[in-house]
Amino acid sequence: MDPCYNHTSSQKPLDQPLQLLIGTCLVLLIVVTLCGNIIVCLAVTLDHRLRSLTNCIIVSLAITDLLLALLVLPFSAFYELSKEWPFGSTLCNIYTSLDVMLCTASILNLFMISLDRYFAVTTPLRYNQLVTRSRVAVGLVVIWTVSLMVSFLPIHLGWNTNGTAVQNTVSNCNKECTLEVNPLYGLVDALLTFYIPLVIMCITYYRIFKIAREQAKRINHTWCSSSNGPVPPMVKEHKATVTLAVVMGAFIVCWFPYFTVFIYRGMWGDSRVKGTPMSIVLWLGYANSALNPILYGTLNRDFRLAYQHLLHCCRTGSPRSSHLPPLQKAHSWEKKCRQEGKPLKLEMRNGKGILLTDRALKSASAFP
């Protein structure tokens, strides 16, 4: 006789109107994640101006989020709506491993982007020597190695459970598919993949913000136009403030609740956080993958232009914008300054040279 015969699931199915509403929201989130990250990949592939080492990391982030939307989010949405996992324990463990791996890789790519911006701002004259193709490649290999080590390895060896058994292998009449968390796994995974990168990102972005303000002030002083002329948007001091606040704010809002609950589950038991609270923090973390193409794409002028060409929405003849690409604008400004006898300055501070150009401010403000 089937031991699960006449067994009632511990989770009640959603009412049909509520199920329809939640299903619509989840499908919309998945579609936005797919489309946004596909556009980022296409933009970098088709626009030669976007082919840089920094954008290689952004493409790595987009590919990671795209894989998450393809391989994980549809199963997560189905499980969220049906409250049952009908695909068996093996596929459940593969699904949870992919979930942990891709979310971890996404966070570590964001961490790598923050380090790239930090070196671009603090050592602009040595940036090309510090950030090379080989080092970026090594960084990406490290990201995926760490992601594999905290996902497939512990989950399939049972290191994340309170006993020695692999999760979801015991007969489960409730047809649940959950990621079990013990104290050691919860603490190590959260520290290694979120809290330590978060602290370092806060430090790097704070340093970027301070230098951006100083460079903006210096560029304002050396601006070669007349005193009553318009100040270009690239030197507005509040630009870096708003951008960095949005980037860090979105990252913290999306992932801090999940990893706080993650550690809580490890310390005090999986059963203490279930149902709606767990669903909210989980999908809030997923939402970061939908926001990444916006934060690391549309806040960048070159990406915006590439998006417009890609979507056939580029407006021509606008009196408020120039047809010159961003880097050409910077070069034309440098040429004008030199013609008027106002050469760009190379200032020394703390033994390091800081080049006061639009490109330096572009790195400082992270997403001009």
Question: Residue written as tokens 């990168």?
Answer: 197
Residue 204 in tokens: 């790097």
Asked whether 302 and 47 are in contact (CB, 8 A), the reply is yes
Confidence band, pLDDT 50/70/90 cuts, at residue 240: low
Q: Tell me the C-alpha distance between 29 and 69, whole Å.
A: 9
Q: Which of 333, 336, 347, 368 is nearest to 124 (CA)?
A: 347
Average pLDDT, the chain: 79
Identify the structural domains of the chain with CATH numbers, from first to last. Answer: 16-312+324-364 (1.20.1070.10)
Query: Taken in order 105, 107, 109, 115, is the CA torsion positive or negative?
Result: negative
Q: Which of 63, 69, 59, 62 is nearest to 26 (CA)?
A: 69
pLDDT of residue 234: 45
Q: Tell me the C-alpha distance between 235 and 218, whole Å.
A: 9
**Mind spelling out the 3-state secondary structure of the chain?**
CCCCCCCCCCCCCCCHHHHHHHHHHHHHHHHHHHHHHHHHHHHHHHCHHHCCHHHHHHHHHHHHHHHHHHHCHHHHHHHHHHCCCCCCHHHHHHHHHHHHHHHHHHHHHHHHHHHHHHHHHHCCCCHHHHCCHHHHHHHHHHHHHHHHHCCHHHHHHCCCCCCCCCCCCCCCCCCCCCCCCCHHHHHHHHHHHHHHHHHHHHHHHHHHHHHHHHHHHHHHHHCCCCCCCCCCHHHCCHHHHHHHHHHHHHHHHHHHHHHHHHHHHHHHCHHHCCCHHHHHHHHHHHHHHHHHHHHHHHCCHHHHHHHHHHCCCCCCCCCCCCCCCHHHHHHHHHHHHHHCCCCCCEEEECCEEEECCHHHHHHHCCCC
Q: Which residue has the higher pLDDT, 172 or 365?
A: 172
The residues, any chain, with a CB within 8 Å of residue 351's CB and separated by 6 or more, are none
Q: Has residue 246 got a pLDDT over 70?
A: yes
Q: Has residue 182 got a pLDDT over 50?
A: yes
Asked whether 55 and 44 are in contact (CB, 8 A), the reply is yes
Q: Has residue 96 got a pLDDT over 90?
A: yes
pLDDT of residue 229: 53
Average pLDDT over residues 273-285: 90
pLDDT of residue 237: 45
Q: Tell me the C-alpha distance between 78 and 57, whole Å.
A: 31
pLDDT of residue 302: 79
Averaging pLDDT over each range in 227-236, 254-263, 347-356, which range is the top one? 254-263
pLDDT of residue 323: 39
pLDDT of residue 355: 44
- Of 146-150, 215-219, 250-254, 333-337, least confident by mean pLDDT is 333-337
Averaging pLDDT over each range in 41-50, 213-222, 250-259, 293-302, which range is the top one? 250-259
Confidence band, pLDDT 50/70/90 cuts, at residue 33: very high
Q: Has residue 160 got a pLDDT over 60?
A: yes
- Distances from the Cα of 111 to the Cα of 100, 148, 344, angstroms: 16, 17, 32
pLDDT of residue 310: 80
Asked whether 151 and 188 are in contact (CB, 8 A), the reply is no
Average pLDDT over residues 169-186: 82
pLDDT of residue 66: 96
pLDDT of residue 268: 87
Q: Which residue has the higher pLDDT, 259 or 2?
A: 259
pLDDT of residue 163: 82
Q: Which residue has the higher pLDDT, 319 or 129?
A: 129
pLDDT of residue 309: 80
Q: Has residue 273 got a pLDDT over 60?
A: yes
Q: Has residue 231 got a pLDDT over 60?
A: no
**Looking at the DSSP assignment, which residues form a beta bridge with residue 353?**
348
Q: Which residue has the higher pLDDT, 209 or 278?
A: 278
- Write the pLDDT tens digit of every residue in 286-318: 999 999 888 876 677 778 888 888 876 544 444
- Write the pLDDT tens digit of every residue in 38-90: 999 998 888 888 888 888 999 999 999 999 999 999 999 999 999 899 999 99
Instruction: Write down the pTM of the prediction.
Output: 0.81
- Of 3-12, 123-132, 231-240, 244-253, least confident by mean pLDDT is 231-240
Using only C-alpha atoms, the chain has a radius of gyration, in whole angstroms, of: 24
Q: Which residue has the higher pLDDT, 345 or 21?
A: 21
pLDDT of residue 275: 83
Q: Which residue has the higher pLDDT, 27 or 229?
A: 27
Q: Which residue has the higher pLDDT, 148 or 17?
A: 148
Residue 136 in tokens: 């970026």
